[in-house]
């Protein structure tokens, strides 16, 4: 049976025992206090001081620079967060099943022919019009087609929540091999794989992704800097990566969408 290691990314020290109990690797992000048992993103070569802007990617940078050899011991390496988990099978979530029995622990046989597992998609056509009126009036003016569900693209969604024109500016500093393809992707798709969650079995593929994404994000820093305020802006680099991740992996590898479970570990009780 193929091995799998899943890192659970957290910002709360009190979750240590719960993460260990479900068999995941506990990772403490950013500048909060964590006990010594946590794996941290602030050791060795790191950008932990940017976690507030980069979200999960402060740990991805740490993996890239310090522990990519984890693949020598595991066939699959994956990432989740303390509020989002991979389900253990590709079936509808059963509310009667206990949480620790719902989440992924072993590699399903159905993954055999795939390189990467991505979290199930968000359908942007389902955005309520009242929310568009509240957050996206300017985005709607710039994209009148958004009045129709088919016009609510990744580009429109990003403009609405993270700043009009921001994604276009970021695309301009993306590498030439991906620039036009990514622009087409965000302008013509009404869904994307959410939450920066993925599971990968190839260290070579992951290294290529890290090389690409961090080159782009560091170029974006030169445009947007760190004077970012509000939820939709402060984690800008994580939001950019969230849109780029499914595009890149689907362009360069064979991917499978997989269901995830929304469950805040802070509220979960284990017997």
Amino acid 269: pLDDT? 83
Average pLDDT across the chain, whole number: 92
pLDDT bracket for residue 64 (50, 70, 90): very high
Q: Tell me, yes or no, whether 134 and 239 share the same domain.
A: yes
End-to-end Cα, the chain, rounded Å: 29
Task: Identify which has the larger pLDDT, 141 or 18.
Answer: 18
53 and 112 in one domain? yes
Question: Residue 168: what pLDDT?
Answer: 97
* Span 98-112, pLDDT tens digits: 898 899 999 999 999
Are 135 and 245 members of one domain? yes
Band (pLDDT 50/70/90 cuts) for residue 71 is confident
Q: Same structural domain for residues 75 and 184?
A: no
pTM score = 0.94
Same domain for 128 and 248, yes or no, is: yes
The domain in which residue 164 lies consists of: 121-193+203-252
Q: How many domains does the chain have?
A: 2
The answer to whether residues 188 and 247 belong to one domain is yes
In tens, the pLDDT along 152-169 reads: 999 999 998 999 999 999
pLDDT average, residue stretch 74-99: 86
Residues 219 and 134 both lie in one domain: yes
């Amino acid at each position: 049976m193929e091995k799998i290691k899943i890192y659970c990314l957290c910002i709360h020290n009190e979750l240590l025992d719960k993460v260990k109990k479900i068999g995941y690797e506990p990772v403490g992000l950013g500048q909060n206090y964590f006990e010594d048992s946590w794996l941290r993103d602030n050791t060795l070569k790191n950008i932990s001081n940017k976690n507030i802007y980069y979200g999960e990617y402060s740990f991805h940078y740490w993996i890239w620079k310090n522990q990519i050899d984890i693949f020598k011991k595991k066939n699959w390496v994956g990432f989740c967060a303390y509020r989002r988990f991979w389900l253990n099978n590709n079936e509808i979530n059963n509310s009667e099943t206990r949480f620790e029995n719902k989440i992924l622990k072993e590699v399903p046989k159905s993954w055999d022919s795939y390189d990467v597992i991505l979290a199930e998609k968000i359908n942007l056509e389902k955005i309520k019009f009242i929310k568009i009126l509240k957050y996206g009036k300017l985005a709607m003016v710039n994209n009148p087609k958004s009045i129709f569900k088919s016009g609510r693209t990744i580009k429109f969604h990003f403009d609405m929540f993270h700043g009009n024109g921001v994604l276009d500016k970021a695309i301009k500093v993306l590498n030439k091999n991906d620039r036009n393809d990514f622009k087409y992707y965000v302008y013509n798709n009404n869904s994307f794989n959410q939450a920066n969650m993925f599971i990968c079995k190839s260290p070579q593929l992951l290294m290529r992704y890290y090389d690409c994404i961090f080159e782009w994000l560091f170029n974006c820093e030169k445009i947007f800097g760190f004077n970012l305020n509000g939820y939709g802006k402060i984690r800008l680099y994580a939001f950019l990566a969230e849109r780029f991740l499914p595009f890149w992996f689907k362009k360069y590898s064979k991917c499978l969408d997989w269901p995830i479970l929304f469950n805040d570990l802070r509220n979960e009780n284990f017997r």
